[in-house]
Amino acid sequence: IVVYNTVPRDTHRTPAAVEPSTAPRIVMVGTVQDRKGVDLFSRVTELARAKGLPWRFSWIGWRTPRIGRDTLLSDRVEWMGALSRQRVREELAASDAFFLSSVDDPMPLSVVEAVQHRLRVVTYHRIGSREVLEGAPGYRSFTEYTPEAALAALDAVLAENISEERYREVEELFDTPAFTHRMSLALGLPMPGAVGLPAGPEGGEGGFAAALDQQVAHRVVEFREHFRAGREEEALRVGTEILRRRRPTDVLLGMADLHARRGRGADALQLLGAAVCTGAERSRVWREVARIAELVGPEGRTLHRFARLETLRLRMRARSRGAGTPT
């Protein structure tokens, strides 16, 4: 389970303009230092100028001493220094694209703030933000850390509008309720407001384990037969008996499916949380969690979006490993 940091929704934000201006403004927020890509940002600025593009570049953040002797600090960039929170909001709202020039940033929260302002976003492909924004209209990453590649990504992203749905999903992923939910899953804590399953006669609920004791293995087979045949009452009865001893992933998902279809959203969500904690077949489990959470309705909307993003993240990681590229 990946527990991202939290960025509460900014109720005071003003969205950026839907269409970019005739002289697009490109902004970066962060301390001025080499790791944040100040050299690349400056060189992209110079390249845009050389190509006759009417783009404006601004950098918000205080200058640090961590700047190399050969680092370019273009005088065509508007170096704005450190600003108040309210002023940063105003500057983001007055921009057209957010260009995160960092060469190394696991999950920059400034990108989430840019998403909150509905800015187009460009990052290097090794930045963590790509995991949650890849494929979203309004986002581009560049695979070569060069001014030419970054400029091409900016040019492409300025030509399209953002996806309100995908941006809202990212907002929710980093919002406080989502953080609480993921942290509860990671620590094996009950979900807020959830009621635990009753302990069985043998005492305790057992661990969230995918492996089954031999004494209950045959009951799992029985559960699957009832579930596939549509004998819901029998499936619920057998499934409950199994869960009093162990929590196999398939039974947890099946029980969650049954509860969701019967309108028992709280029970379904608790079981889905337990299924995720088993750690087995993560990609398949997250796909099933997304499907079942959608059945729950509004109560399961956050988990549904979570699961979709987690499935996408795992798929992208698998592709990266298969291609031999760093993650």
pLDDT per residue as tens digits for the range 168-206 = 888 887 877 766 766 666 555 555 544 333 333 333 333
Which of these, 52, 2, 63, lies nearest to 28 by C-alpha position?
63
pTM for this predicted structure: 0.61
Q: How far apart are CA 224 and CA 22, in angstroms?
A: 61
What fold does the segment set 25-174 form as a domain?
Rossmann fold (3.40.50)
Question: Does this chain's domain 25-174 share its CATH topology with 177-323?
Answer: no
Indicate the SS3 state at residue 121.
strand
For 79, phi then psi, to 5°, come to -85, 105
- State the CATH class of domain 177-323: mainly alpha
Which residues are CB-neighbours of 49 under 8 A, at least 6 positions away?
76
- Contact between 246 and 216 under an 8 Å Cβ cutoff? The reply is yes
Give the amino acid at 227.
Answer: F
- Classify residue 198 as exposed, middle or buried by CB count within 10 Å of its CB (0-12, 13-18, 19+): exposed
Minimum mean pLDDT range among 42-46, 120-124, 315-319: 315-319
Q: How far apart are CA 90 and CA 93, in angstroms?
A: 5
- Torsional sign, CA 215, 218, 224, 227: negative
Q: Where are the domains of the chain?
A: 25-174, 177-323
Neighbours of 138 (CB within 10 A): 21
Give the amino acid at 22.
Answer: T
| H/E element, 81 | strand 77-81
pLDDT per residue as tens digits for the range 137-165 = 999 999 999 999 999 999 999 999 999 98
Helices (H), 79-213: 85-93, 109-116, 130-133, 147-157, 164-174, 176-187
Q: Could you tell me the two tokens for 204?
A: 């305790």
Residue entry with tokens 């404006």? 56
- Contact between 258 and 288 under an 8 Å Cβ cutoff? The reply is no
Is the pLDDT score of 80 beyond 80?
yes
Minimum mean pLDDT range among 25-39, 162-176, 214-228: 214-228
